[in-house]
C-alpha cells in the first residue's frame, strides 16, 4: 500500500462521516414530527390487571320464598355475614325438621329436600363408631352428629358416590337406599311430617334426584361446608361464634313446606 495516499483518504472519510451524521439528524427530526408518540408497553400480567375489573358478588341470603325454621335462617344469616364458608358452597341440615338446604357460596338457595336421619336423637357421635361393623352399632348409637363439617366427595364401601360429612364417624350424605322394604324409606321421605324420618345409622339419606341434581354438582368436585343443626343442644353451644357476630335481618318468606316431599 502507498502511504502517500492516506491523508487524502482521511479527508474524504471525514467529510463523508460528517454528511452522514447531518443526514441522520435531519431524518430523526422528520420522524419525530411525523410518527405518533409510542404507547407504554405493560408486561402481560400488568396489562391483565389494568384491563380486568372483578366485581365482588354480593353475599346475601336468598331463600326464594322457602319457609325454613328460625334456627336454619339464623345460621344461614351468620354464615353469610361472617363468611364462615369462605368461597365454598354450603349446606344446612335441619334435624328437627328433617330437611337439607343447599346454598351457593354467596347465600343463594340452590335447593331443598326432605332427608332421613339417624334413628336415635342426639347431637354427638360415639367415639370409634366409624370403625365398627354396622351390625355392631346399637340403636341408641345411631345418631347424626351436629356441628360444622368440611364435606368432601368420595365413595363408600358399596362403591357408591357419597359426600362425606364426618368421615371418621362414617357419616355421609347419599341417595336413599331401598334395601329393606320393611323400613319404608321412600314413604318416610314422601310423608308430610318429619316425625317418621329417623331410620338411618347416622347418614343423611335424600331423594336420588336431589342428590344427583343439587348435592353432587355442589360438592362433587370441590369441598364444601355442611352445618348440622342440633336437636338437643342450644344452637350457640354448637356454633359459639353466633353469639359474637352481628346478623342482619332477612325479610320473612312464605312457601309450601318441605319442597321435594
Residues 126-156: tens digit of each pLDDT = 999 998 988 899 999 999 999 999 999 999 9
What is the rounded radius of gyration, in angstroms, for the C-alpha atoms of the chain? 34
> Over the stretch 181-220, which tens digit does the pLDDT of each residue have?
999 999 999 999 999 999 999 999 999 999 999 999 999 9
Give the whole-angstrom CA distance, residue 34 versus residue 205: 76
- 198 contacts 96 by C-beta, under 8 angstroms: no
Model pLDDT, residue 65: 94
Cα angle 169, 172, 175 (rounded to 5 degrees) comes to 150
Q: Is residue 148 classed exposed, middle or buried when 0-12, 13-18 and 19+ CB atoms within 10 A define those classes?
A: middle
What lies within 8 Å, CB to CB, of 163 at 6+ separation is: 151, 152, 153, 154, 172, 173, 174, 215, 216, 219, 220, 224, 226
Give the whole-angstrom CA distance, residue 171 versus residue 141: 12
Neighbouring CB atoms inside 10 A of 158's CB total: 9
Look at the chain and count its residues: 261
- 91 contacts 226 by C-beta, under 8 angstroms: yes
Q: What is the pTM of this model?
A: 0.74
Nearest residue to 189 via CA among 134, 92, 237, 200: 200
Nearest residue to 151 via CA among 215, 74, 59, 199: 215
Residue that the C-alpha cell 368421615 belongs to:
167
Give the whole-angstrom CA distance, residue 247 versus residue 183: 41
Q: What share of the chain is helix, strand, coil (3-state, %, to 5)?
A: 35, 20, 45
Model pLDDT, residue 245: 75
Model pLDDT, residue 58: 84
Model pLDDT, residue 20: 44
Taking CA atoms, 56 is separated from 87, 232, 249, in Å, by: 11, 38, 22
Q: Which domains does the chain possess?
A: 70-243 (2.40.440.10)
In the predicted model, residues of the chain with pLDDT beneath 50 are 1-17, 20, 24-47, 49-54, 253-261
Model pLDDT, residue 248: 65
Amino acid at each position: 500500500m502507498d502511504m502517500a495516499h492516506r491523508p487524502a483518504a482521511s479527508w474524504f472519510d471525514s467529510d463523508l462521516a460528517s454528511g452522514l451524521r447531518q443526514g441522520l439528524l435531519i431524518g430523526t427530526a422528520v420522524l419525530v414530527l411525523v410518527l405518533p408518540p409510542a404507547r407504554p408497553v405493560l408486561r402481560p400480567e400488568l396489562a391483565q390487571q389494568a384491563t380486568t375489573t372483578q366485581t365482588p358478588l354480593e353475599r346475601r341470603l336468598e331463600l326464594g320464598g322457602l319457609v325454613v325454621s328460625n334456627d336454619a335462617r339464623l345460621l344461614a344469616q351468620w354464615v353469610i355475614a361472617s363468611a364462615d364458608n369462605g368461597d365454598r358452597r354450603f349446606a344446612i341440615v335441619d334435624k328437627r325438621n328433617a330437611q337439607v338446604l343447599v346454598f351457593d357460596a354467596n347465600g343463594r338457595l340452590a335447593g331443598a329436600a326432605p332427608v332421613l336421619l339417624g334413628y336415635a336423637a342426639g347431637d354427638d357421635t360415639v367415639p370409634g363408631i366409624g370403625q365398627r361393623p354396622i351390625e355392631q352399632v346399637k340403636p341408641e348409637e345411631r345418631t347424626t352428629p351436629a356441628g360444622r363439617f368440611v364435606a368432601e366427595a368420595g365413595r363408600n364401601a358399596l362403591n357408591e358416590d357419597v359426600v362425606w360429612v364426618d368421615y371418621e364417624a362414617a357419616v355421609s350424605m347419599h341417595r336413599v337406599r331401598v334395601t329393606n322394604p320393611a323400613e319404608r324409606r321412600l314413604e318416610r321421605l314422601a310423608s308430610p311430617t318429619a316425625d317418621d324420618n329417623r331410620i338411618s345409622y347416622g347418614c343423611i339419606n335424600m331423594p336420588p334426584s336431589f342428590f344427583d341434581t343439587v348435592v353432587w354438582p355442589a360438592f362433587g368436585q370441590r369441598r364444601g361446608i355442611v352445618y348440622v343443626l342440633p336437636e338437643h343442644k342450644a344452637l350457640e353451644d354448637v356454633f359459639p361464634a353466633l353469639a359474637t357476630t352481628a346478623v342482619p335481618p332477612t325479610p320473612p318468606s312464605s312457601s309450601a313446606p318441605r319442597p321435594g316431599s
